[in-house]
Amino acid sequence: MQEIELAANRNRLFYLIKLIRLFKGLKMFNVNAIMTFVKGYLYSYVMERSKNDSTFGSNIHESNNMIEETLLISYILKIVRVIIIIINASYLVGMFWLIILEIEEIEIEHRDFKKYTTIE
């Protein structure tokens, strides 16, 4: 789409169309689905370690269920998701502002300034 030449280099406005990818990306960045995968991985790790180490299950000084790691990963993923949403929202607002300025620039170029500047 950037190959289409528009007057006054207004090709940049096609970047607004790229926001469609935002919605597809947020659908793919599903924290619950990622956490299901992470929990499955951690569960298999704990089960494998308990098979190989007989003292692993009875050790009271070590976290055996990895709840802290699971919560930390969950919070990090949620924070990253919010950061992505904030960045994309600011991009959207910036693009709308750019469109408004481009429209205003066109209006100013086409106005008849002589009727506003003539002294009678």
At 36-92, the pLDDT tens digits run 999 999 889 888 888 888 787 777 777 777 888 899 999 999 999 999 889 888 888
**Structure tokens of 104?**
């205003």
Confirm whether 82 is domain-assigned: yes
> Quick check: 114 pLDDT over 70?
no
Confirm whether 91 is domain-assigned: yes
CA 37 to chain centre: 21
Burial of 45 per CB tally in 10 Å (0-12, 13-18, 19+) = exposed
More confident residue, 58 or 33: 33
Confirm whether 112 is domain-assigned: yes
Alpha carbon distance 77, 34 (integer Å)? 9
The pLDDT score that the predictor gives to residue 35 is 92
Sign of CA dihedral 110, 108, 96, 12: positive
Mean pLDDT score, 18-35: 80
**Structure tokens of 119?**
């002294």
The pLDDT score that the predictor gives to residue 77 is 93
Confidence of residue 12 (pLDDT cuts 50, 70, 90): low
Confidence of residue 1 (pLDDT cuts 50, 70, 90): very low
Alpha carbon distance 4, 103 (integer Å)? 19
Confidence of residue 96 (pLDDT cuts 50, 70, 90): confident
Instruction: Provide the percentage of residues in the chain whose pLDDT is more than 70.
Output: 74
Alpha carbon distance 43, 80 (integer Å)? 24
Confirm whether 71 is domain-assigned: yes
Confirm whether 2 is domain-assigned: no
Confirm whether 1 is domain-assigned: no
Task: Select from 80, 66, 3 the least CA-distant residue to 34.
Answer: 80
Give the total number of structural domains in the chain: 1
Q: Which domain holds residue 95?
A: 7-117
Could you say which DSSP state residue 56 is in? T
Confirm whether 13 is domain-assigned: yes
